[in-house]
Amino acid sequence: QKEVEQNSGPLSVPEGAIASLNCTYSDRVSQSFFWYRQYSGKSPELIMSIYSNGDKEDGRFTAQLNKASQYVSLLIRDSQPSDSATYLCAVNLDGGYQKVTFGTGTKLQVIP
């Protein structure tokens, strides 16, 4: 069964620390990987996309992709209380351009 898996958490980190969120996926043909942030009661918003192995940095966020091991991770440096949200991983499991599959999300709590 094609899946995207995330630890549901909650992951608690102190303010200023690095938060590390992980996601594994089932299909080796996957080509596109995304991280979304969803605040409680709100819709998901895109924060990072990554398509190639390695790291991609955008401000305090770094996405890491390892296709051989089939995982993608998101690092949040200098975590702030405003980063407290659920982080959703999304992958195009079939390698196509029509749809992606979302993980169930990891809830992050940044403690002041």
Partner 1 sequence: SQTIHQWPATLVQPVGSPLSLECTVEGTSNPNLYWYRQAAGRGLQLLFYSVGIGQISSEVPQNLSASRPQDRQFILSSKKLLLSDSGFYLCAWSEGGQNIQYFGAGTRLSVL
103 scored as a contact of partner 1 (CB under 8 A): yes
Find out whether 34 and 49 touch, Cβ atoms under 8 Å. yes
Q: What does DSSP assign to residue 18?
A: P
As measured in angstroms, the least distance from the Cβ of 81 to partner 1 is 22
42 scored as a contact of partner 1 (CB under 8 A): yes
**Nearest CB to partner 1, comparing residues 19 and 36:** 36
Please, which of residues 58-87 interact with partner 1 by CB under 8 A? none
Q: CA-to-CA distance for 85 and 57, rounded, in angstroms?
A: 20
Q: CA-to-CA distance for 67 and 23, rounded, in angstroms?
A: 12
Contacts of 96 (CB under 8 A, 6+ apart): none
106 scored as a contact of partner 1 (CB under 8 A): no
Residues of the shown chain interacting with partner 1 in the complex, contacts defined by CB under 8 A = 32, 34, 41-46, 49, 88, 90, 92, 97-105
